[in-house]
Structure 1
Amino acid sequence: MSNPRIHWLTDNHQLNQAVAQWQKHSWLTVDTEFMRTKTFWPIAGLMQVGKDDDVWLIDPLTITDWTAFTELLTNPAVTKVMHAMGEDLELFRHLTGHLPVNVFDTQIAAAYAGIDFSIGYQRLIAELLNIDVSKGETRSDWLARPLTQSQIDYAALDVFYLGKVYPMLVKALEDKGFSGWHREDCERQVTAAGTDTNPQTAWRDVKLAWQLYPQQLAVLQVLCEWRETQARERNLSRNRLAPAGALWDLARFQPKSINDLRRIKAMKPQTIRQSGAEILQQIAKGRQVPESEWPERPAGPLPKRVQPCVNAIKKFCRNRAEELGLLPELIPAKPWTGSLLRGWLNSGEFTMASHSSSDNGWRTEEVLKPMVKHLNAIDFNKNP
Structure 2
Amino acid sequence: MSQPHIHWLTENKQLNQAVALWQEQSWLTLDTEFMRTKTFWPIPGLIQVGVGDDVWLIDPLTISDWTAFTECLMNPGITKVMHAMSEDLELFRHLTGQLPVNVFDTQIAAAYAGLDFSMGYQRLIAELLDISVSKGETRSDWLARPLTQSQTNYAALDVFYLGKAYPKLVQALEGKGFSDWHREDCERQIQSVGTDTDPKQAWRDVKLSWKLNPQQLAVLQQLCYWRETQARERNLSRNRLAPAGALWDLARVQPKTPHDLRQIKTLKPQTIRQSGNEILMQVNKGQQVPKPDWPEPPAGPLPKRVQPCVDAIKKFCKHQAAELGLLPELIPSKVWTGSLLRGWLKTSEFTLPANVTGWRVEEVLKPMIQHLNSLNFQKHQ
Q: How does the TM-score come out when normalised to structure 1?
A: 0.98
For 1:220-259, list aligned pairs within 5 A.
220-259=220-259
Match of 1:37 in 2: 37
For 1:161-176, list aligned pairs within 5 A.
161-176=161-176
Match of 1:78 in 2: 78
Change (3 A) 1:126 1:383: farther
Match of 2:197 in 1: 197
Amino acid at match of 1:330: L
Structure 1 residue ranges, 4+ long, deviating more than 3 angstroms after superposition: none
SS in 2 for 1:55: strand
Q: Does the aligned pair in 2 maintain the 1:357–1:364 contact within 8 Å? A: no
Match of 1:131 in 2: 131
Distance 2:293 2:332 in 1: 36
Match of 1:332 in 2: 332
Amino acid at match of 1:356: A
Distance 2:38 2:185 in 1: 30
2:375 aligned with 1:378:
yes
Distance 1:200 1:146 in 2: 43
For 1:115-130, list aligned pairs within 5 A.
115-130=115-130
Note the C-alpha offset of 1:98: 0.2
For 1:148-297, list aligned pairs within 5 A.
148-297=148-297
Q: Deviations over 1:173-195 (max 9, x none)?
A: 00000000000000000000000
Q: Deviations over 1:261-301 (max 9, x none)?
A: 11111111111111111010000000001111111111110
Change (3 A) 1:383 1:366: farther
2:23 aligned with 1:23:
yes
Q: Does the aligned pair in 2 maintain the 1:202–1:228 contact within 8 Å? A: yes
Distance 1:114 1:292 in 2: 52
Match of 1:356 in 2: 354
SS in 1 for 2:124: helix
Q: Deviations over 1:116-158 (max 9, x none)?
A: 0000000000001000000000000000000000000000000
Amino acid at match of 1:238: R
Larger deviation, residues 30-39 vs 260-269: 260-269
Amino acid at match of 2:92: F
Match of 1:60 in 2: 60
Q: Deviations over 1:304-338 (max 9, x none)?
A: 00000000000010000000000000001101100
Q: Deviations over 1:173-230 (max 9, x none)?
A: 0000000000000000000000000111110110000000100000000000111111
SS in 1 for 2:81: strand
Distance 2:275 2:148 in 1: 37
Distance 2:181 2:234 in 1: 38
Percent identical residues: 78
Note the C-alpha offset of 1:356: 2.0
Q: How does the TM-score come out when normalised to structure 2?
A: 0.99
Distance 2:379 2:278 in 1: 55
Distance 2:348 2:296 in 1: 24
Note the C-alpha offset of 1:26: 0.1
SS in 1 for 2:256: coil
SS in 2 for 1:369: helix
SS in 2 for 1:147: coil
Match of 2:109 in 1: 109
SS in 2 for 1:95: helix
Distance 1:231 1:82 in 2: 28
Change (3 A) 1:13 1:382: closer
Note the C-alpha offset of 1:382: 9.1
SS in 1 for 2:47: strand
Amino acid at match of 1:47: I
Distance 2:118 2:292 in 1: 45
Q: Does the aligned pair in 1 maintain the 2:305–2:379 contact within 8 Å? A: no
Note the C-alpha offset of 1:68: 0.2
Amino acid at match of 2:258: I
Distance 1:382 1:34 in 2: 51
Amino acid at match of 1:101: V
Distance 1:361 1:326 in 2: 16
Amino acid at match of 2:354: S
Note the C-alpha offset of 1:357: 3.7
Q: Which runs of 5+ in 2 are unaligned?
A: none
Distance 2:83 2:379 in 1: 48
Distance 1:265 1:363 in 2: 44
SS in 2 for 1:38: coil
Distance 2:150 2:143 in 1: 15
Distance 2:185 2:355 in 1: 14
Distance 1:73 1:257 in 2: 51
Match of 2:342 in 1: 342
User: Between Structure 1 and Structure 2, how many residues are aligned?
Assistant: 381
